[in-house]
């Protein structure tokens, strides 16, 4: 089992920032609805991080990454500002992860990152009104999107064209096709 402590300080920062940066990048992809959707999507993102940290304790490395992202909440404003570099950050992080994490740990993290992006993209129309503290709600959201890294089955209908394009870019980079 890999631990974040196996990585350097800069590598930990890079890895821990990915979940939040991905969520914000997807949120910023479509600003047609103004601030209201951004606020809802930010709440969904925060809730997703908490849910992944709790729900995936059977995947200790994934859980640790999410907990570290939550622990660094004081950096979220900076990470949001840096979210437009997330594709390059993923391309930097994957080789770093391969040096210490197992293939299964990396696959679980990639799947979680895709699920976070999809949940944020779906937040405004389909999931509006959810309380971001509710594990039950996020278990449903996360469960709904399981497997979207490899397939579009179950693709949410309320995702805008801009968000869908960002999700396709995310899917491509996470699968190593971009």
Render 88-105 in DSSP notation, one character per residue. HHHHHHHHHHHHHS-HHH
Read off the pLDDT of residues 134-167 as tens digits, 9 standing for 90 and up.
444 455 455 544 444 444 444 455 678 888 899 9
User: Could you give the number of structural domains in the chain?
Assistant: 1
User: Helix, strand, coil proportions of the chain in percent (round to 5)?
Assistant: 75, 0, 25
pLDDT in the model for residue 119: 86
> Which helix (H) or strand (E) segment is 81 a member of?
helix 76-81
DSSP string, 109-130: HHHHHHHHHHHHHHHTTTSTT-
Enclosing domain of residue 40: 4-174
Q: What is the pLDDT of residue 83?
A: 95
Q: Give the pLDDT score at 146.
A: 45
Question: Is the pLDDT score of 34 beyond 80?
Answer: no
Q: Quote the CA–CA distance of 45 and 43 in Å, as a whole number.
A: 5
Write the CB contacts of 83 (distance below 8 Å, at least 6 apart in sequence).
20, 21, 22, 24, 25, 28
* 56 phi and psi angles, rounded to 5 deg: -115, 40
Q: For the chain, give the mean pLDDT.
A: 82
């Amino acid at each position: 089992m890999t631990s974040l402590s196996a990585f350097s300080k800069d590598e930990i920062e890079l890895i821990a920032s990915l979940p939040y940066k991905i969520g914000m990048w997807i949120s910023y992809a479509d600003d047609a609805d103004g601030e209201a959707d951004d606020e809802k999507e930010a709440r969904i993102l925060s809730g997703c991080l908490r849910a992944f940290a709790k729900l995936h304790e059977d995947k200790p490395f994934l859980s640790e990454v999410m907990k570290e992202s939550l622990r660094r909440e004081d950096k979220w404003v900076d990470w949001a500002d840096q979210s437009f570099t997330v594709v390059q950050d993923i391309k930097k992080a994957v080789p770093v992860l391969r040096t210490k994490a197992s293939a299964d740990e990396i696959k679980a993290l990639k799947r979680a990152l895709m699920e976070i992006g999809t949940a944020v993209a779906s937040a405004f129309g389909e999931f509006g009104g959810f309380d971001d503290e509710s594990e039950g709600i996020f278990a449903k959201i996360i469960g709904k999107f399981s497997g979207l890294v490899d397939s579009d089955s179950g693709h949410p209908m309320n995702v805008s064209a801009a968000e869908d394009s960002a999700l396709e870019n995310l899917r491509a980079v996470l699968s190593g096709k971009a």
